[in-house]
Structure 1
Amino acid sequence: MAVMNERLDLRVAGVDLAVAAVRRDGDDAPVVFLHGFGSTKEDYADVALHGAFAGRPFLAYDAPGCGETACEDLSAISLPFLVRTAQAVLARAGITRFHLVGHSMGGLTALLLAHQEPDRVLSFVDVEGNVAPEDCFLSRQIVTHPADDPEHFLADFAERVRRSPQLAGALYAAGLRHRVRPGAVRGIFESWST
């Protein structure tokens, strides 16, 4: 089966989305990947190259406000909105039962999705997920370093991450402005920390 890139035109909670996705179809239940803040679907696309996943159907997509997904109203984005988006993507893709993998923000989104629809989730992997606001360096930033201007907040946040002692911080910070739209940050972080 071939790996396909596609665009899903959806309307979620009154907001128009053009969701960028990558997927491979097949007969088995697919693995659905939900990326973290500052990540994109491309972080999972190479699953198609791993022998253990040979022929395994999968779906990964860019969350609203991230990557190549277009969202007409970035202020509508919140964790509940991300869950509703996941439900809409699954419905459009015709996926009824699936294995679920979420990372960080995607892990929390996946946890909420699994809680709402437990009969559809065959297995669940939470990669470095944050199940409580106090667990997350990212969501605390909205409180510890407030800024009225989304552009300034994201630029300052990226600079703090770049200077952090984590070795991958500079790499993460370098790609952040290309992977996340500033207008989406506040809604994600504030809903994550409430």
Structure 2
Amino acid sequence: MNQNGIISKVIVNYKGKFFEISTKFRNGNDELIMFIHGLGCSKNSFEHVWDSSEFENYSLLTFDLVGYGDSSKPMDFSYDMEEQAELCNLLLNQFQYDKIHIVAHSMGGAIGLLLAERIKDRLASFISVEGNLIGDDCGIVSRKTVGYSFEEFQNKLFDKLIMSSRLSEDLSSKLWGEMLAKCNSSAFYKSAQSLVEWSDSNKLLSLFIDLKVNKKYIYGDKNSQMDVLKMLKDIERISISSSGHFIMSDNPYEFYKKLYNIM
């Protein structure tokens, strides 16, 4: 147990199979904020929220998607965005809150939008943190991954990704490398395939634009030239200074302060 949250494993039954999902949870007010991490990441992406004074009275849930962190890592799971969304839905069903706020980063944005379809009656807000919406959102890593066969990726690329990130002088890259080291290579590869497919379809952008709840798009100021920013119509865009894609670790103080102000 951490003084800022209880770490535990939650068991969900999906299609007759049991999955362990590693969670960190704190019960506060009657509305739950669910944080969904990105490709190769884990619940540690949002670790700074537990030290944020703005959210000390909120109910918070961070967790490792199946295949990532300390959750189950089955080799025979599809790791499709839709199936991950359904596992998130089953996880949420074990937390009895009538109002859910989703904060979703990168790949988590795609999963979160598909989850939003499943919890329409309970969804209070959706905050996309550079969440995948269009094909251009699939950066070098996910597109490069799907350019290999799984065997080639596993033998030639995966360990190099981990090592190069861990050796980086950039703190956010180091953090990603540490999280990636706990990721199942099959989960990463299949997730990248599904993510590229969904992003290229432009269906995610439509889902985000059509959401009938409070919604915002948060991005790092180093990525202010992204094409997606021009495609969000009247959706509010919020820039976080001195940050790139890993906004929550690049500038956690500003990120969580602004997040609190828009919830």
Flag whether TM exceeds 0.5 (same fold). yes
Matching residue of 1:63 = 65
Deviates more, 1:103-112 or 1:133-142: 133-142
1:18/1:43 Cα in 2 relative to 1: closer, same or farther (>3 Å)? same
Q: TM-score by structure 1 length?
A: 0.85
Amino acid paired to 2:123? V
After TM superposition, the structure 1 = structure 2 runs for residues 102-113 of structure 1, keeping only pairs within 5 Å, are: 102-113=104-115
- 1:29 aligned residue: 31
Relative to the length of structure 2, the TM-score reads 0.64
1:171 positional shift: 1.4
Number of residue pairs aligned between Structure 1 and Structure 2: 193
Rounded Cα–Cα distance in structure 1 between residues aligned with 2:57 and 2:173: 35
2:185 paired residue among 177, 182, 187: 182
Supply the AA of the counterpart residue of 1:180: C
> Deviation digits for residues 123-163 of structure 1, max 9, x if unmatched?
11111111123321132123334442553242244467679
Alignment of 1:92-103 (within 5 A): 92-103=94-105
Alignment of 1:1-194 (within 5 A): 3-137=5-139, 138-149=141-152, 151-152=154-155, 153-158=157-162, 167=170, 170-172=173-175, 174-194=177-197
Deviation per CA, 1:82-103: give whole Å up to 9, x if none. 1011101000222342111000
Query: Any conservation in 1 of the 2:40–2:179 contact (CA below 8 Å)?
Result: yes
Q: Which moved more, 1:11-20 or 1:21-30?
A: 11-20
Q: Is the 8 A contact 1:8 1:19 kept in 2?
A: yes
Maintained 8 Å contact 2:150/2:189: no
Superposition deviation, residue 167 in structure 1: 4.2
For 2:67 and 2:60, locate their aligned partners in 1 and report how far apart those are by CA, in whole Å. 22
For 2:146, the aligned partner's letter is V
Tell me, in whole angstroms, the C-alpha distance in 2 between the residues paired with 1:2 and 1:159.
31
Question: Could you tell me how far apart the structure 1 residues matched to 2:124 and 2:68 are?
Answer: 27
Shift of 1:168: 5.2
Q: Distance in 1 between matches of 2:21 and 2:162?
A: 25
Q: Which amino acid aligns with 2:182?
A: R
TM-aligned CA deviation for residue 62 of structure 1: 0.4
> How far 1:56 sits from its partner (Å)?
0.7
Cα deviation code 1:71-123 (max 9, x no counterpart): 33453321111101110100022234211100001111111211343322101
Larger radius of gyration, structure 1 or 2?
A: 2
SS in 2 for 1:30: strand
- Structure 1 unmatched runs, 5+: none
Q: Is the 8 A contact 1:150 1:183 kept in 2?
A: no
**1:99/1:187 Cα in 2 relative to 1: closer, same or farther (>3 Å)?**
same
Letter in 2 for 1:40: S
Using the TM superposition, give the Cα deviation of residue 174 of structure 1 relative to its aligned residue in structure 2, in angstroms: 3.1
Q: Which amino acid aligns with 2:10?
A: L
Comparing 153-162 and 72-81, the one that deviates more: 153-162
